[in-house]
Amino acid sequence: MQSTPLRGVLAPVVTSFKADLSPDPERFIRHCKWLLSENCGLAVFGTNSEANSMAAEERMMLLEVLLASGIPPSRMMPGTGCCSVTETVRLTAHAVKHGCAGVLMLPPFYYKQVGEEGLYRYFSEVIQRVGDARLRIYLYHIPPVAVVGITPHLVERLLKAYPDAIAGMKDSSGDWNNTKTYLEAFAVRAGLAPGFEMFVGSERFLLANMRHGGVGTISATANVNPAAIHKLYVEWNDAETNPEHQQAQLNVVRDVFASKSFPSMVASLKQAIALSTNDPDWGRVRPPLVELTVEQATALAAELKNVQGGLGILEARSSDY
Amino acid sequence: MQSTPLRGVLAPVVTSFKADLSPDPERFIRHCKWLLSENCGLAVFGTNSEANSMAAEERMMLLEVLLASGIPPSRMMPGTGCCSVTETVRLTAHAVKHGCAGVLMLPPFYYKQVGEEGLYRYFSEVIQRVGDARLRIYLYHIPPVAVVGITPHLVERLLKAYPDAIAGMKDSSGDWNNTKTYLEAFAVRAGLAPGFEMFVGSERFLLANMRHGGVGTISATANVNPAAIHKLYVEWNDAETNPEHQQAQLNVVRDVFASKSFPSMVASLKQAIALSTNDPDWGRVRPPLVELTVEQATALAAELKNVQGGLGILEARSSDY
C-alpha cells in the first residue's frame, strides 16, 4: 500500500448555497483555498458538507470547478458513498479520474442490519467497477448518522482482497475504544496492513489518535478552527508545546459548535463563517437542516467570545478572502 | 382534495436485475402486468423494490419502459423520496409529468434528529419546485429503515399549507396505535382533511385499517400473494366471508417471508418469484442485500408448502407469464 499525501488535518468542507439553494461555487472555492492556506486537506462532500442533500451532478460540478480554479486534487478526499452502488461507482470513478488522492466512502445506508457479507459485496463491486489502480478508499464509519457501520472483520476481509484500494478509515463513532481497536488491529501491528491510515472524525481524539499510530483528523470544526487543530497535529509529540493543553483548548471550542442549543453542527459552522466573513449568505443550509435563528446566532457569537481561541474564529478573515 | 384511483392493494414492486446487476426491464414489465391482473396497484421504487440501491436515471428509465409497455400511470405510485431535495424534485416532477396518480415520498433520511421544521421546509420546497396541480404525495413513514419519521403535527402543517398535494400516507411503523392516531386525526374526523388516504405498510393491519377508515395496504407480500390480500380488501365488511379468518391466513403467509432465518424480505420475495416462474434470475438482489442460499431457498419452499395458501404462491404462473 502506498501512503497518500492526505495525512494531517482535513475539513469536511461546508458547502455554500445561493438564495435558490443551488450550490454556490464562488464562495466554495474561496473557502477551500483558505482551508488549504491553513494546511487543511479538503474532504469535500462529507456529512458536514450536506453532500447527501445534493444530487450526484451537483457534487461532480463542484469538484470540477474546484479543480478548474487550480486546487490540487492531491489534497482532496471527496465523499463518494451513496445508497446506490451505481451512484457510488459513478462519483468514485469521477473523483479518481480527476486525480483525487483518496475518496471517503460511506457504506450504503438505506437498508439497516444488512450484515457483513452484503457490505463486503458492495465495496467489492465498487472497487471492481471503478477498476482503477489509483483508487484509495477511506471507509467512513459514522453510526450516529448512517446507522449502518463498518466492522473490524469487514475491514480485515477488504484489506486482504484489496490491499491497494483500501487506504484507511475515518472513525466518527465518537468512541475512542472503537478507534483504538482499529489502530491496534490494522495500523500498528505489522503484517496485514502496514500504513492503514486512521483518521478520527473529531479533533477531540486527535492527540490520542496520534499517540496510538493514527494519521490525523477529518473534523467539521476544521472549517473554522484549522490553525489550532493543525498546530496540535504538528506538535503532538513535542512535550514542550504542552499538547494536552492544546487538546483541552480545541475541545472547548468544539463544545461551542456541538452545543445542543443550536440546530446542527453544520448550521453553527456556517453561521460562524457568515460572522467571520461578514457575509450572511454563508448561513444558508439545505432542508431538512435549518439555519440558526438571530437569537441563536447572537448566542453563538457570545459563546465564542467567551472561550480561548474563539475570538480569532469570529475576526474577519484576510481582506482577500 | 380529490381522491385518487389508487385505493386498495398496492405492491412495492420488486425490481428484477440482470447478471451485471443492471435493471432488467423485461422481467419487470411482466411482473407489473401480472400484478395489475391481480388487482394490485404499482408502488414501484419502494423499499422492497431496492429503489435506494438504484440511481435516479435507472428509476426514470424503468418508469418510462413501464409506460411504453402500456401500463397505465393511473395505477402507479412510484417512490420518489431521496436524501437530496434536488433529486426528490427531479424524480417527483418526472412521475407527475408522466401522469402517475401519486408518489410515495420518504423523508430525507441521511441526517437524523432533524426536527419538524426542517422536514416541513423540505416537503414545502419539493411541492413548490414541482409546482404541478396534479401532484399527489403519499408520505412514507418507515422508521425501522429510514429512522427519520413523519409526525402527526408535521402532517397537520403540511395539510393546512398544501391540502391538494398531500393525499395520504403509508405507515410502515409496524405499530397499529400509530396508524390509528393518523386515522383518527386526519382520515375519519371531519374538517381538516376529509379523504386523507391511509395505507398500512403490511397486510397484517389491513382489516383493522379498513375498519377504522383506512383505504388499503401497500405491502411487500403483495408481490407474491396479491389475490388473497385483495380478497380481504374487497370483503372486509362482509361478515359472511369471515374476514378475521382471512386476516389470520394472510398473517401466516407473511410470517414465512418475514422470517429472521432469511436474509431479508426482499430476497425471500424474489426467491419465491424465482420458484414460481421457474426463473432463477429473479433471485438476484443488489448489494448490500444478499440473495438466499440454496439451503434457505429450500427451506422457504418447504415452509410455504406447509401453510395454507402457500402452495399457490409456488405453483407456476400462467404460461404466458
Secondary structure letter of residue A12 according to DSSP: -
The 10s digit of each residue's pLDDT in A228-260 is 999 999 999 999 999 999 999 999 999 999 999
The pLDDT assigned to B213 comes to 92
Lookup: cell for A209: 489518535
The pLDDT assigned to B286 comes to 98
Chain center to CA of B201: 7
C-alpha–C-alpha distance, residues B91 and A143, integer Å: 28
Q: Cα torsion for B38, B40, B46, B47, to the nearest 10°?
A: -60
CB A130 within 8 A of CB A92: yes
The 10s digit of each residue's pLDDT in A268-281 is 999 999 999 999 99
Measured between alpha carbons, how far is residue A181 from residues A155, A279, B210 in Å?
A: 12, 43, 52
Helix and strand numbers, DSSP H then E, in chain B:
13, 7
Of B125, B145, B288, the CB nearest to A119: B288
A119 close contact with B: CB closer than 8 A: yes
Q: Band the pLDDT of A195: cuts 50, 70, 90.
A: confident
For chain B, residues with pLDDT lower than 70 are 1-4, 188-194, 316, 318-321
End-to-end distance of chain B based on CA atoms, in angstroms? Answer: 38
The pLDDT assigned to B188 comes to 64
Could you give the ipTM of this predicted complex? 0.95
Provide mean pLDDT across the span A123-141: 98
The pLDDT assigned to B4 comes to 55
B86 to chain A: which residues are within 8 Å by CB? Answer: 54-55, 58
At residue A115, φ and ψ (nearest 5 deg) are: 85, 160
The pLDDT assigned to B321 comes to 60
Provide mean pLDDT across the span A94-108: 98
**Mean pLDDT of chain A, nearest integer:** 94
Q: Which of B289, B291, B296 to probe the A interface (max A CBs under 10 A)? A: B289
Per the CB < 8 Å rule, is A125 touching B90? no
C-alpha–C-alpha distance, residues B175 and B181, integer Å: 10
The pLDDT assigned to B190 comes to 45
CB B22 within 8 A of CB B57: no
Q: Which of A147, A290, A292, A296 to probe the B interface (max B CBs under 10 A)? A: A290
B151 close contact with A: CB closer than 8 A: no
Which residue from B minimizes the CA distance to A287? B122
H or E stretch including B244? helix B243-258
The pLDDT assigned to B5 comes to 74
B54 to chain A: which residues are within 8 Å by CB? Answer: 84, 86
Please work out, in degrees rounded to the nearest 5, the angle formed at the alpha carbon of residue A203 by the alpha carbons of A199 and A204.
115
CA distance B167 to chain A (A): 21
Show the DSSP H helices in A98-205 as ranges: 115-130, 143-146, 152-161, 176-182
Q: Cα torsion for A78, A81, A85, A91, to the nearest 10°?
A: -20
Of B58, B117, B118, the CB nearest to A86: B58
Which residue from A minimizes the CA distance to B108? A288
Of A52, A86, A109, the CB nearest to B54: A86
CB atoms < 10 A from the CB of B35, how many? 23
The 10s digit of each residue's pLDDT in B43-96 is 999 999 999 999 999 999 999 999 999 999 999 999 999 999 999 999 999 999
The full DSSP string for A270-300 is HHHHHHHHT-GGGG---TTS-PPPHHHHHHH
CB A271 within 8 A of CB A212: no
Secondary structure letter of residue B76 according to DSSP: B
A143 close contact with B: CB closer than 8 A: no
The pLDDT assigned to B315 comes to 86
The pLDDT assigned to A5 comes to 74
CB atoms < 10 A from the CB of B279, how many? 14
Q: Cα torsion for B67, B69, B72, B77, to the nearest 10°?
A: -50
C-alpha–C-alpha distance, residues A184 and A180, integer Å: 6
Q: Band the pLDDT of A113: cuts 50, 70, 90.
A: confident
pTM: 0.96
The pLDDT assigned to B17 comes to 98
B87 close contact with A: CB closer than 8 A: yes
- Strands lying side by side in the sheet with A216-218: A40-42, A8-11, A216-218, A197-200, A166-171, A137-141, A103-105
- What's the maximum distance between 2 C-alpha atoms anywhere in chain A? 55
Could you give the 3-state DSSP secondary structure of residue A61? helix
Per the CB < 8 Å rule, is B87 touching A289? no
C-alpha–C-alpha distance, residues A310 and A307, integer Å: 5
Q: Which of B113, B286, B293 to probe the A interface (max A CBs under 10 A)? A: B286
CB B134 within 8 A of CB B98: no
Chain center to CA of A20: 26
CB B203 within 8 A of CB B243: no
C-alpha–C-alpha distance, residues A246 and A201, integer Å: 18
A194 close contact with B: CB closer than 8 A: no
- Strands lying side by side in the sheet with B103-105: B40-42, B8-11, B216-218, B197-200, B166-171, B137-141, B103-105
The answer on pLDDT for A266 being more than 50 is yes
The pLDDT assigned to A320 comes to 53
The pLDDT assigned to A316 comes to 66
